[in-house]
Amino acid sequence: MLGSSATGSAGQHPQVNIPEEQADKLLLASWGLPSAVLEKYHSLGVVQMFEWQAECLMLGHVLEGKNLVYSAPTSAGKTLVAELLILKRVLETRKKALLILPFVSVAK
């Protein structure tokens, strides 16, 4: 997971343009997460997302359970997008979810 101003070890993040009226969507607090979840992310230094991460969450009907395919370099923040999508879905539907992480380093 990446913090508010961190850059992944792979280099630059792609430039995307979040409309100014939606700039608050970069803040994790804008996504309706429980305070305990926000506190945990904040304790890890994660307060906001990169623009590309917020854009992923705002695409089409992703938050309603539609598929999302995205690609980014190692350490760019892909896991955060997956975590937020799963958290939102579990909280809204009260169903269980399973997140499978392919690498030991991500799971630690």
What is the count of structural domains for the chain?
1
**pTM for this entry:** 0.74
Dump the DSSP string for the chain. ---SS---TT-PPPP----GGGGGGGBGGGG---HHHHHHHHHTT--B--HHHHHHHHSTTGGGT--------TTSSHHHHHHHHHHHHHHHH--------SSHHHH-
CA atoms within 13 A of residue 10's CA, in its CB half-sphere: 11
Q: Assess whether pLDDT exceeds 60 at residue 15.
A: no
49 belongs to a structural domain? yes
7 belongs to a structural domain? no
Confidence of residue 55 (pLDDT cuts 50, 70, 90): very high
Percent of the chain's residues with pLDDT above 70: 78
Domain carrying residue 83: 20-107
Mean pLDDT throughout 52-58?
A: 93
87 belongs to a structural domain? yes
What is the rounded distance in angstroms from the CA atom of residue 105 to the CA atom of residue 11?
19
64 belongs to a structural domain? yes
Q: Is 80 left (phi over 0), alpha (psi -120 to 50) or beta?
A: alpha
48 belongs to a structural domain? yes
Query: Where residue 74 sits, what CATH number does that domain have?
Result: 3.40.50.300
What is the rounded distance in angstroms from the CA atom of residue 70 to the CA atom of residue 8?
16
pLDDT at position 23: 80
92 belongs to a structural domain? yes
